[in-house]
Amino acid sequence: MLDREGYRPNVGIILTNDRNEVFWGKRVREHSWQFPQGGIKPGESPETAMYRELLEEVGLLPHHVKILGRTRDWLRYDVPSHWVRREWRGSYRGQKQIWYLLRLVGRESDVHLRATSHPEFDGWRWHQYWAPIDEVIDFKREVYEGALSELSRFLRGLETLEEFNGRQQAGR
């Protein structure tokens, strides 16, 4: 399901713990890491899709998390043409995403990456809030920065991106 501009509707999930660290998932059989995300099915609301993806990719149920916020509008990224399936070339541009910021209120042991027969991740860790911006694949970087920046207002005691970058520079 693509919109008129060639973007597939999607949700992104930033799951935090009580230290404002984020869930960072390692994609199955790859050395690439990302936030949970997935497509919105026809007739499905973004929130319903978020809960479905959360269960499918992380194994968490609605009572394991609390919604802290969501992006006001769609954030878009283009997928490089060499990553697009041949049959979609010319019509598919990328993804448009509504991002949710969640707090884990369950236990870490509630995370179950093999909740489905087709797991998305084979490993995960808690990571510093701003670190994924520099670690995600290039074409998703701007969306990650936009989502993390917009949603950071819902977290208390979180350092700014500028403070994080300054601390990273000082540590080199």
| Residue range 112-139, pLDDT digits in tens | 999 999 999 999 999 999 999 999 999 9
Residue 87, pLDDT score: 65
Q: Which of 105, 149, 116 is closest to 38 using CA atoms?
A: 116
Residue 88, pLDDT score: 63
| Residue range 77-94, pLDDT digits in tens | 999 887 776 666 667 899
Residue 172, pLDDT score: 63
Neighbours of 5 (CB within 10 A): 9
Residue with tokens 């997935």: 38
Q: Do you know the residue count of the chain?
A: 172
Q: pTM value?
A: 0.94
Residue 91, pLDDT score: 79
CB contact at 8 A, 28 and 121: yes
- Give the chain's mean pLDDT: 94
CATH superfamily entry for domain 7-171: Nucleoside Triphosphate Pyrophosphohydrolase (3.90.79.10)
Residue 1, pLDDT score: 84
Res. 146: pLDDT tops 80: yes
Where does the pLDDT of residue 67 fall: very low under 50, low under 70, confident under 90, or very high at 90 and above? very high
Which residues are within 8 A (CB) of 7 and not within 5 positions of it... i.e. 6 or more apart? 74, 76, 93, 94, 95, 96
**Helix, strand, coil content of the chain in percent (nearest 5):** 35, 30, 40
Residue ranges of domains in the chain: 7-171
The three-state DSSP-derived secondary structure of 83-143 is HCCHHHCCCCCEEEEEEEEEEECCCHHHCCCCCCCCCCEEEEEEECCCCHHHHCCHHHHHH
